Each structure stands twice: as C-alpha cells, then as structure tokens.
Chain A
Amino acid sequence: MARYTLQRLIYMIITLFIIATATFFLMKLLPGSPLQNQEKLSPEQQKIILEKYGLNDPVPVQYVRYLGNLVKGDLGVSFQYDNRPVTQLIGDRIGPSAQLGFQALVFGTIVGILLGVIAAVRHNTAVDYGATVLAVLGISIPSFVFGGLLQYYIGVKLKLLPVAFWDGFEYTIMPTLALSVFVIASIARFMRTEMLEVLGSDYILTARAKGISGFGVIFKHGLRNAMIPIITILGPMAVNLMTGTLVIEQIFAVPGLGEQFVRSINLNDYPVIMGTTIFYSALFIFVIFIVDVLYGLIDPRIRLAGGKK
C-alpha cells in the first residue's frame, strides 16, 4: 500500500505539472492584457505597467519564473484585486463553497440513493415512474431556474427562509437544495440501474433463499455492490460542488470561489487563473486517488497494485 501510494503520488505531481504547463501557455494565448483600465491606457502606458509585473518578458521566461515561485508555494498576487496574494484569495472563499458543496453532496447522495433503491425495488410501478420523472426533471431543469424559483417563492413570497446572504445555517438551506437537485437526480438514476442489475444476480437469490429479510438483502447485500459506480461519480462531483458553483453562488450571494475562475479568465488575471486551476486540479487528482482506495474497501474483489498474486 505504501509503495502504491508513493507511486501514485509521483504520478499525481507529474499530472499537476502537465496541467500547470498547458494552462500557462494556453492562458498566454488569451487576447488583451491583465490591465483593468486597458481601455483608457495608451500602448506606452500599458508597457510601463506590464514591465513592473515582468509581463514584457518572453513567455518561456515568465513560465520558468512562475514554476520557480510555484515550487516555493508562491502563487503570486492578483491583478484584479490589486496585489492580494492568490493563496489568500482562494483561502477566503473556499470555506463557504466547500460547506455548501458538502451539504449538497450529503443530502443529495442520501436522497438520491433512497430514490434509486425505491425505484429499483418497486420496479415498473407508479413509484418507479415517479422517481424516474423526478430524476429527469432534476437533470434537465437548470439550477439557476430552480434556485430562482426557490428564492422567489420561499424567500420573497412565503418569507420562510432568507432570500440571500451568508449568515448562518438557515442561509445555506436554499442554495443547498438548489445544488443538490442535480446530485439527487444523477445518483437516483445510477442507483436504480445498478440496483436492478444487482438484485437480479445469483447471490441475492441465495441470500433470499437463506431467508434473510427483504430489507437486509437490499441494504446489506444489494446496496454495497450497487455503490461502485456511485463512488466513481461521487468523487468528481464532490470536487465540482465543493469548489463552488458560479450560478448558485451568485443567486444566493454566497461568498464562494465559484465566480473567480470565470472572472479571472475574463479579466486576464493570470495569477488567479493559474492558482484556481492548480488548486482545482490538485483537489481533483487527490479525490480520484481517494476513490481508487475506496473501491478496495467497498468491493474486496478490486485490489490495488501490489496486492498478493
């Protein structure tokens, strides 16, 4: 296991390096400069300012300098938030995004699994169709529509929950719900398909024959085996949700990371583009690693490298 982890770690660093390099050069293809006031500045004035940030140097020089700083853990300072360190920028915003994403993930997964299992167990009944319709709706309704509707009816009309802002648990309920719709729908669909397959397999028949109760069969024998594909999609989904979502965070005025990536690309804020990309990729790669480890725990048939032959 230790050897496997080390090996994976090396691969992870190489992957990250490739991502950083590709992003850096692609980013430099973006038209325009990172100057905020570009509209008003003459080319000479722009040059003076870019000189200060070393942006008049050839791209390879900039690249080597960036990598040098990166190794030291220095992601540079933002252009749009004049001279604010990128690490602090991400640090300030990741909390709310992660909390929201986590809540949506937990809630969505639980509800999704339940819906999927029920639909599978009551295959081809009204319950199944109901759950399927719900899942299709959940996947096809854009989250901003659902978020907007929630905000208007529950926040403005019924005044049950605060319309927006970030000031305690009740402020997280609507954005969590809005975010979790997609999670519920995706997981329910996967769960139903997988559960149907599992419930049809021989060992379930055996378990039933042994006289284990219906509930036990489904949750102890069925669920565990049906979880494999769920784990696969849960990893990337967790990263997606917990690094912030543009639309939901904007609708509910959540002080998260969601907007930063798109915004920094629009504004050519190079250090923030790089910083968020590296952060996101690192998290992603790490989660994939965790997922691989989890496979083994859930299904002992899947062995990690280094297992005894």
Chain B
Amino acid sequence: MKKKLSIFFVLLLVASMVLAACGGNKAEEPKPSDEGKQETPAKEQVLNLLETSEIPSLDSTLATDAVSFRVMNNVFEGLYRLDENNQPTPGMAESYEVSEDGKVYTFKLRDAKWSNGDAVTANDFVYAWRKALDPNTGAEYAYIMYDIKNAEEVNTGKVPVDQLGVKAIDDKTLQVELKNPIPYFLSLLSFPTFYPQNEKFVKEQGDKYGLEANTTIYNGPFVLSEWKHEQSFQLKKNEQYWDAQTVKLETINFNIVKDVATGVNLYETNKADRVGLSAEFVDKYSSDKNFKTKSEPVLFFIRMNQKNEVLKNVNARKAIAMGFDKEAMVATILNNGSKAANYFVPEGFVTGPNGKDFREENGDLVTFNAEEAKKYWEQAKKELGKDKVTLELLNYDSESAKKIGEFLKEQLETNLPGLTVNIKQQPFKQKLDLESKMQYELSFAGWGPDYQDPMTFIDMFVTNGAHNQTGWSNAEYDKLVKDAKTTLLSDLQARWDAMVKAEKILLDEAVIAPMYQRGAAYLEREYVKGIVDHPFGPDNSYKWAYIE
C-alpha cells in the first residue's frame, strides 16, 4: 500500500514539474521590490489603490461613468475644480468677470500647459464643448451643458455648432454666454464634460484619442503614465501642471479588482492602501481603527405610480411613506454609513446663500410612524372602498436591493393591514424601461446629483418631467420650479426658499417615499492623508493627497 501511494505522489510531482516548466521563463522575472515598503510605508509618496473596472474612456466628451470621471478629474482640469471644501476654485481659469445680468462670463486663462508642451488656450475649450454638443458625437452628458446659450439647439441639430454661446476672444480669454444666469455655474464647470481638449492633438490621434495612455495628453495634477487594459494603470505627478508645487504624490498605482473580498485580502497583505467594503465585511471591520464611512448625496426612495388607483390616493401614499422603519433598514441591512432619509434633497450636499445646508432649512419631512401610517391607511381603504390591496414593488436585481425589497415587504405588510406587496426583480435596464413607461406600481429608485444645486433633485417631479415617472402633477410645485429657474435667479435667497417650499410640497403629498441616503464604508491606511471626496461629478481628488 505504501509503495502504491508513493508511486501516486511521484506521478503527481512529475505532473506539477511539467506544468511548472511550461511557464518557466516567466517565473524568473524579478518580483517588484515591495518588501521594504510593507514595513515602513511612510516616506515614499506612492499611493496604491484599487479601481472597480477598466477605464471606459478618457475622452471627456464621451465619458459617463464613475471610473472614467475619477481618473479624468486627476489628469485633466477644467476652468474650475472643486477644492477640499467642495467649493469651486480656479483651475485653468485665473479669474473671471460676469456681466450684470449674470449671463455672460469672461474667463481669463492662466499660463498652463498640456503634457506635450502645448499651451492650454481658449480654443481648447471652444473645441471640446462644441464637440460634446455636436449631435454627431453622441455625448451622453451633453445635456449638462444646456445652460449655455444655444446648447440645446446645437445638440438637437437645430442650429450649427458655431452658434454655441462660447467664444475665444483671444488665446487666453474665453467668453461664455448663458441661457439663464444659473448661480452654480462655476461649480458646474468642474464637471468633466467641460474639460478642454487640444484640437490639434485630438485630430492627429483620430479614433485613437483617449484610448491609450500615449494617445492622450493631460493638463491636470497627474498624467496617466501607464495603462494596461483591464489590469492596471498608473498616475504620475505632472511636472508641467501649473500648481505642481501643491501636488505631493509622485505615483498612484491602480489595480483593477472587481471582487470586494479580493480587495479586502489585498488590503490585508498591504497591496492596497484604501479599499471599499460591502455590508458583509462591515461587521468584521467596524471596530478597526482604519474603518471609515462617508455619506454621499445619493438618495434612494420608492416611486409610486399614480396611474394606479390605490396610489392615486394621497392617504395611501402617506401610509406607505410612513409605514416602514428606515432606521432599522440602514442599521441592519445596509450597515455601511447610509442614513435614514426623511427628505429628498440629501444632507451635506449644498448650502444656500445664507450659508445653511438645505437640510437645516427643511429638516425631517416624513418620518417612520407605524401608528400614523395605519391611520392614513385605514382612511385610504375607506375612501377606496377596499379591504385588501395588492401592490407590486419593482426592484433592481442586485443582492442588496433584494434584501431591501424583502425588508420593505415585511414592514409594509405588518404596519398596513390588508396590504400585500409582491416583489418583481428585474435587470437594471429592464427596470429603467418599465419605470419610464410607467409600467409599475411601486418602484425602488435612486437619484444622484448632476450639479451642485437642489434643483438637480427638485426639478425631477415637474409635470411630465422625463424623470417624474409617477404621473403626479401640481401647479404650485411647477410654478416654484419654473420661478426658481427663471425670474428668481436675480434673488438667490428667494430662489432658495422656493426650492425649500417645493420639497415640502413634494413630501407633504407623499409623491415618493424616501428611504435612505447612500453611504459607503471603506478601510484606509492611517498613513494616507488628504484624499478629497466630492459630492457630484468625479468622486475623488488626489491633488491634495499625501503619504505621511
């Protein structure tokens, strides 16, 4: 028996040697020398991060996703960028003047260079913005520029691109004409679609622009020095950057890791300095000294389709909006720094002309209250003449959405007697489709900001708005929104008050049932300092980050 076994092991050994020989030449490659770094992480200004996917695009006019935005925010720069306090700070612009009616901005550009040595000129902005709005580009974020004069007309092909309200007065002076004097224009300019592009270089590269590290040029704090598709990419400090003295990091290494557990294992073995956690890892790490959470201005809520006769009843909607325990939902299911939302415009997203956060103005508008909910529900049932009601909840098909759906079902069925909730899970695209065709009853929905102003949330629910999708219509609400977008632009406090009032109407009428404001949990090594998180557009800036 012993002999037989040993034969078996010999054979196994031979097999593994054959295999080892197959890849032998690669095995001899020297390992990257990271032994020293593991012990003394401080000195070297190298940050090791993980990214969740390959960079889809480096063409600022085409990009739509979080990964591209994060990279672009650190290798490009627009006229303004968001600073450590999320206020717009001059980037490529040095200063600006604005006309009395607030509609014409004249930007003075600073002496800045692209990474190939070319100067950044006003024409780089004109070129890039026209390109983004040109219907032939098919830019999905073109609409973000619709506040510029003629932008929408250009984008829909009604007028030629040269009619766009953007002009290069000279190499260093850019004039932008707006349709409406929006108060958040400077912060909007930090959005990636507003970045400049060097026309000559882009045309030289043709189809290849933005597809490789060396077919793209940079004007931001970093340059993309290496890009191995689907595997990794690397940012190096841009010595040509106008504010290079502020930038401390020399290198940022990104590896593409899609699995959360793998990310955690890499963090544990010191291959990553910062890693995002999903709910199942939070319990394990919540007492770790490097455990952190952050709140994001993304709101999740239940949409209620008013084409449904039950949901047309305001008391039924109120009952649903008050009928589930949000605190328990964020504590037990999400468990990642998400907050129960008794509001629609997120907390910590935007401050008004008086310096107050929007939430300080309006406070809690709809809180969990099982008793009240039941009262409204009984009232609704009486009005509808029904004893039993069945509603379908349209849901995303992710794991966490599934848990939330089940939680909602359990809560609503317990707190609202006679209600049955059926859950219908659909793939993301299908869910969006059903929602926009209003083929749903209740729907688990989410919304994040496009610009730093409450309006990015508020104007969703105007009558027949593309994202209203509930069938709700309220003349007073529509007027408040319209005024805030037009006549009140000259009185910012009144505009702000109008939006505060609008939110109140929205939730008094229980058009939606807010659930939670998204949070994120992550681990970050103690020597990593100064990574700035932003509330809209790109999530992070590394310009001010350093290793201590």
User: Number of contact residues on A: which range applies?
Assistant: 35 or more
Least CB distance from A138 to B in Å reads 15
- B43 at the binding interface (Cβ < 8 Å): no
- A266 at the binding interface (Cβ < 8 Å): yes
- B147 at the binding interface (Cβ < 8 Å): no
Whether the Cβ atoms of B262 and A252 lie closer than 8 Å is: yes
With a CB–CB cut-off of 8 A, which chain A residues contact B261? 148, 151, 251
For residues 1 through 23 of chain B, which have their beta carbon under 8 Å from a beta carbon of chain A? 1, 4-5, 8, 11-12, 15-16, 18-19, 22-23
- Known contacts A35-B140, A253-B259: does B64 contact A169 (CB below 8 Å)? no
With a CB–CB cut-off of 8 A, which chain B residues contact A48? 135, 138, 142, 155-157
- A84 at the binding interface (Cβ < 8 Å): yes
- B289 at the binding interface (Cβ < 8 Å): no
Whether the Cβ atoms of A165 and B436 lie closer than 8 Å is: no
Least CB distance from B416 to A in Å reads 29
Q: Which of A51, A52, A164, A259 contacts B262 (CB 8 A)?
A: A164
Whether the Cβ atoms of A110 and B140 lie closer than 8 Å is: no
- A277 at the binding interface (Cβ < 8 Å): no
Q: Digit string of B231-271 for contact with A (CB within 8 Å is 1, else 0)?
A: 11000000000000000000000011111011001101101
User: Number of contact residues on B: which range applies?
Assistant: 35 or more
With a CB–CB cut-off of 8 A, which chain A residues contact B436? 43
With a CB–CB cut-off of 8 A, which chain B residues contact A49? 138-140
Total A-B contacts with CB atoms under 8 angstroms apart: 174
With a CB–CB cut-off of 8 A, which chain A residues contact B142? 45, 48
| Bound CA–CA A88/B16 (angstroms) | 34
- A243 at the binding interface (Cβ < 8 Å): no
| Bound CA–CA A13/B4 (angstroms) | 51
Whether the Cβ atoms of B135 and A152 lie closer than 8 Å is: no
| Bound CA–CA A140/B362 (angstroms) | 56
Pick from B176-184, B330-338, B422-430, B505-513 the stretch touching chain A.
B422-430
With a CB–CB cut-off of 8 A, which chain B residues contact A259? 258
Least CB distance from B142 to A in Å reads 7
Q: Digit string of B55-66 for contact with A (CB within 8 Å is 1, else 0)?
A: 011010011110
- A156 at the binding interface (Cβ < 8 Å): yes
| Bound CA–CA A93/B262 (angstroms) | 20
Least CB distance from B12 to A in Å reads 7
With a CB–CB cut-off of 8 A, which chain B residues contact A167? 29, 32
* 18 sampled A-B residue pairs with Cβ under 8 A: A30-B429, A40-B450, A41-B140, A53-B138, A82-B56, A82-B59, A82-B210, A83-B62, A92-B229, A93-B230, A103-B19, A106-B19, A159-B269, A164-B257, A169-B26, A251-B262, A253-B259, A266-B427
B residues at A contact (CB < 8 Å): 1, 4-5, 8, 11-12, 15-16, 18-19, 22-24, 26-27, 29, 31-32, 54, 56-57, 59, 62-65, 135-143, 155-157, 207, 210-211, 228-232, 255-259, 261-262, 265-266, 268-269, 271, 427-430, 432-434, 436, 450, 466-467
> Apart from A31-B430, A253-B231, what are 17 other A-B pairs with CB-CB below 8 Å?
A31-B433, A32-B432, A35-B140, A41-B143, A43-B466, A48-B157, A83-B207, A85-B207, A127-B5, A155-B265, A155-B269, A167-B32, A168-B29, A250-B259, A253-B258, A253-B259, A256-B230
A residues at B contact (CB < 8 Å): 30-33, 35-45, 48-49, 51-53, 80-85, 88, 92-93, 96, 99, 103, 106-107, 110-111, 114, 118, 122, 126-127, 148, 151-152, 155-156, 159, 162-170, 172, 176, 250-253, 255-256, 259, 266-268
